Chain A
Amino acid sequence: MSQEKGRFGKFGGQYVPETVMHAVEELDKAYNKYINDPEFINELRTLYRDYASRPSMLYYADKMTKDLGGPKIYFKREDLNHTGSHKINNVLGQLLLAKKMGKKRVIAETGAGQHGVATATVAALMGLECQVYMGREDTERQSLNVYRMQLLGASVTPVDSGTKTLKDAINEAMRDWAANSENTFYCIGSVMGPYPYPEMVRNFQKIISEEARAQILEKEGRLPDAVVACVGGGSNAMGMFYNFIPDKEVRLIGAEAAGKGVDTALHAATMTKGSVGIFHGMKSLFLQNEEGQIDPVYSISAGLDYPGVGPEHANLFETGRAEYVDITDEEAVCAFEYLSKTEGIIPAIESSHAVAAAIKEAKKMTKDQIMIVCLSGRGDKDVYSIAKYRGVNIDEQ
């Protein structure tokens, strides 16, 4: 895949200010030292099993399969992990590394709050000081997660610069890192940022497809025809895709947030509408104007509300190995409600984009085929905003 260190095709790189380059180099060294160290891997696997409750189950959705009349649909239940999403996989890896590096303080950005909650959780477990940056707008639509992080001992800083969402939270975290890199570890939540982050985060998330591949072979005796995952920055999708990349017969389908529609100004569909740029430490695809100013983006899902995508996805897209589809707010909300009623599983609004893409794809597939959908997170955090979207008032008295 990556012919040059830190590159995926032409994408990737290390485009960050000199103020953080020493920290990036230090991380690169530590990451390459530990990523293949049997003791480190063993420690991480133990945490995965005993703390995050891995492996996550591969669940056959019988009712949904029959209802849609297409392929057999399986869900990779990352929503059942401790803290309720796939984010814990990456955070356990990074903070274990932070401990090995002797860092005392950890910072993170968060959109929906899932990565922030996971970071606050593991920081509590490992005795690290934790500071989470979150766009002001996101602190308002995900206030439950803000309180949850505070409960876990983290301090949450609302970010008022720029568009007050995920990209601005990343800007602010980078500024903090530039000021405090000697004692601070920046725990990036997705497969983005300067090398080694995109590769490192993918390696901490690839457990998803490692398990899923073995589980489907055990249950069905063969590989799936398609795997589906939602893509914001793209960490659960990279985790879900990675071990299937060499299996050319397996289609890799990413679901992007189309917001109010890709032909409106209100979307976050980077693959469909983006162009090559350099931002947040990486060369990748971004939603930007002619002048290279980063566009404000929109999605009902705070976790997919990001104007870029990880460089490995940009390369999978450019080489045609993975396909990316657009899912609107309305389609995602319908899928959210559908899965709740059909299977008794309330998915995160981010994951609902993958469910919606799966429903669409299933209609084009046949009964003898198999599809795995990554259910990256649970939807408890989204109940309030979905009610609001539907015009239902559930405010307590």
Chain B
Amino acid sequence: MNNRIETRLAELKAQNRKALVTYITAGCGGYEQTEDAVLAMDKAGADIIEIGVPFSDPVAEGPIIQEASLKALERNTTLAGTFEMVKRIRKSTDMPLLLMLYVNTVFRYGTEKFFSQCKESGIDGVIIPDLPYEEYDEIKEDADKNGIISISLVTPVSFGRIEKIAASARGFLYCVSSTGVTGVREHLDTDFTSFFENVNKYSKIPNILGFGISTPEQVRDLKQYADGVITGSAVVRLIDENNRAESTKKISEFTASLRDALDN
């Protein structure tokens, strides 16, 4: 069976379209609100969705996702609960789904059990920001055995590391737009021409740009460089824990606005 991420990206390539990847923190506002948001983003034109599993100390995240993680933890969001939620989502959609989580969450759950649960619940890939290339062996065997793709990241300060990272990357290469943490940024100072020159030299899979992307205008400016964009904090800040319907509507509209910016 082909992995849904690879299948979707191949379809997009054939259609000469760019990928829209969106992120949401599981359990912020409750599991039901997350389910609504995921399905709404699917309908509004997201190609791949990352579901963030909340962690007490998310060192790669900026303030918006940090706060969402804490709120989700206050509601007792767990990995097991997230898998149950994914199973419910899977009944309504066949879109590619990723879990974004910290390595300790995987390690404590048990790497083998974690990846077999991913497969069972319908997860296609994982993004583990604190598991760099050097420590990939921690999960490789169990991920491969279950057909789960682990997404690799490269940054503007990866320099000579890009070659070896790209050589083993699968699915898509997560190109970090700027140094630092996730979050909404007004300006990105990165020299994208030289960054992507370096990335394109080695990468044989779609290169998707993330971190700091929050508006259709940014998407229009940046889409020339990459095969798609990732947006996270800009979605998460639309979550209103007290108004599920309104929250879902805003997330849907926002997703559609980025879809439009990518396509037109």
* Chain A residues with a Cβ under 8 A of chain B: 13-19, 21-23, 25, 161-162, 167-168, 171, 174-175, 178-182, 276-281, 286, 288, 290-294
Shortest A229–chain B CB gap in Å is 27
Chain A neighbourhood of B129, CB < 8 A:
17-18
In the complex, what distance in Å separates the CA atom of A277 from the CA atom of B129?
16
CB < 8 Å: which of A13, A14, A280, A291 contacts B108? A291
Nearest CB in chain A: distance from B99 CB, A = 14
B59 and A18 contact, CB distance less than 8 A: no
Q: How far is the CB of B82 from chain A (nearest CB, A)?
A: 10
Apart from the given pairs A168-B57, A175-B59, 9 other A-B contacts in the complex at a CB distance below 8 Å = A14-B134, A17-B130, A22-B155, A161-B66, A171-B57, A178-B59, A178-B179, A277-B107, A292-B55
A18 touches B79 (CB 8 A): no
A175-B180, A178-B179 are known contacts. Are A15 and B103 too (CB-CB below 8 A)?
Answer: yes
> Count of A-B contacts with CB under 8 A?
111
Listed by A's residue number, 15 A-B pairs whose Cβ atoms lie within 8 Å are A13-B134, A14-B134, A18-B154, A18-B155, A18-B161, A18-B176, A19-B155, A19-B181, A25-B161, A179-B181, A180-B180, A280-B59, A286-B104, A290-B108, A294-B57
Which of B55, B78, B132, B161 has the largest number of chain A CB atoms within 10 A?
A: B132
B interface size (C-beta, 8 A): 40
What is the CA–CA distance of A18 and B56 in the complex, to the nearest angstrom?
Answer: 20
Q: How far is the CA of A19 from the CA of B134 in the complex (A)?
A: 13
Instruction: Tell me whether B135 and A21 are in contact (CB under 8 A).
Output: no
B102 partner residues in chain A, CB cutoff 8 A: 292
Residues of B within 8 A of A16 (CB): 130, 132
Contacts of A292 in B (CB 8 A): 55, 102, 104-105, 107-109
Docked pose: A20 CA to B79 CA in angstroms? 27
Contact B181 A15 (CB under 8 A): no
A23 near B103 (CB under 8 angstroms)? no
How far, in whole Å, are A174 and B57 apart by their CA atoms in the complex?
11
A17 CB contacts on chain B under 8 angstroms: 59-60, 129-130, 132, 153
The contact of B73 among A161, A290, A293, by CB within 8 Å, is: A293
> Is A21 within 8 A of B133, CB to CB?
yes
Q: Given A18-B155, A178-B181, A293 and B55 touching (CB < 8 A)?
A: yes
A-B pairs with lowest CB-CB distance, top 5: A292-B108, A179-B180, A293-B56, A292-B104, A18-B153
Q: Is the CB of B107 within 8 A of A22?
A: no
Cβ A278 vs Cβ B107 within 8 A: yes
| B242-263 to A contact mask, C-beta < 8 Å, 1/0 | 0000000000000000000000
B63 surroundings in chain A (CB, below 8 A): 161
B134:A21 contact, CB within 8 angstroms: yes
B205 in the interface, Cβ–Cβ < 8 Å?
no
Q: Which residues of B contact A281 (CB under 8 A)?
A: 130
Q: Are A19 and B157 in contact (CB under 8 A)?
A: yes
CA–CA, A17 and B56, complex, Å: 16
In the complex, B7 has a CB within 8 A of chain A: no
State in angstroms the CA–CA spacing of A13 and B62 once bound together: 25
| A18 in contact with B158 (CB, 8 Å) | yes
Alpha-carbon gap, A22 to B105, bound state (A): 25
Chain B residues, Cβ within 8 Å of A280: 59
Chain A's closest residue to B159 (CB) is A22
Query: B171 to chain A: closest CB distance in Å?
Result: 16
In the complex, the chain A residue whose C-beta lies closest to that of B67 is: A161
The reply to whether B59 and A174 form a contact with Cβ atoms under 8 Å apart is yes
- Check: B131 CB closer than 8 A to any chain A CB: yes
Chain B window 77-113, contacts with chain A (Cβ cutoff 8 Å), 1 for yes, 0 for no: 0110000000000000000000000111101110000
CB-based contact A21/B108 at 8 Å: no
Q: In the assembled complex, which residues on chain A have CB atoms less than 8 Å from the CB atom of B158? A: 18, 21-22
Interface residues of B in 155-179 (CB under 8 A from A): 155, 157-159, 161, 165, 176, 179
Contact call B132/A21, Cβ cutoff below 8 A:
yes
In the complex, the chain B residue whose C-beta lies closest to that of A22 is: B157
| Contact of B108 with A277 in the complex, beta carbons under 8 Å | yes
Q: How far is the CB of B180 from chain A (nearest CB, A)?
A: 3
Residues of chain B within 8 A (CB-CB) of A14 are 132, 134-135
Smallest CB separation, B62 vs chain A (Å) = 8
Q: Which residue of A lies closest to B157 (CB)?
A: A22
- Indicate if the CB atoms of B135 and A182 lie closer than 8 Å: no
- Chain A residues whose C-beta falls within 8 Å of the C-beta of B155 in the assembled complex: 18-19, 22
A81 to chain B: closest CB distance in Å?
31
CA distance A292 to B58 in the complex (A): 12
Which A residues touch B103, using CB under 8 A? 15, 278
